[in-house]
Amino acid sequence: MTTQGIEGIVIETRNYGATAAFWLSLGFDKVVETDHGSGQFVHPSGGPYVFVVEQHDRDLAVQPVVRVPDAAAFTPTRPLEFVQPFTAQHWGVLQALVHDPDGRPVSLEAADPNAPADHHG
C-alpha cells in the first residue's frame, strides 16, 4: 500500500500573526489555532490544508504532508530515507519523516488507532 496524496502543507514562519493574516486574505478559513504560535487553515473550495507554525530556532521550511492509509501496511515502491519512523504525535497521527532525493523533508501521516478521541489538530 502506498499513499493517498498530499493532504496538507506545513509552512514555517517567523511571524505567525502576519502569516495567518496572509492566508486569511487569500480566502482560507482558520479551523484550528493552538496556544503556541500555530494554526491550520483550509479553503472553502477544498484542497490541501495549510498548517502554519512559528519557528525561530532554524531555517524556515515548507513541508508537504502525505496521507498514508495505514502506517503498518505502508510499502513504498522504492526505498526511502527515513529520518524518523512512524511515531505517535500529540495531534492524533502516526508521523514518519522522510527525505526526498534532494534532501527536502516530507511528512507521512496515518491515523493513530490509539489516539484519544479528543486530540487537537
pLDDT per residue over 89-121, tens digit each?
Answer: 988 999 999 999 889 999 999 999 998 875 544
pLDDT at 1: 76
Please report the DSSP string for the chain in residue order: -----EEEEEEEES-HHHHHHHHHHTT-EEEEE-SSSEEEEE-TT---EEEEEE--SS---EEEEEE-S-GGG---SS--EEEEEEEE-TTSEEEEEEE-TTS-EEEEEEE-TTS-TT---
pLDDT at 7: 97
pLDDT at 35: 84
Name beta bridge partners: 98.
Answer: 82, 106
Across 68-77, average pLDDT: 94
Domains in the chain with CATH codes = 6-111 (3.10.180.10)
Query: Does 26 score more than 90 pLDDT?
Result: yes
pLDDT per residue over 40-51, tens digit each?
Answer: 999 999 999 999
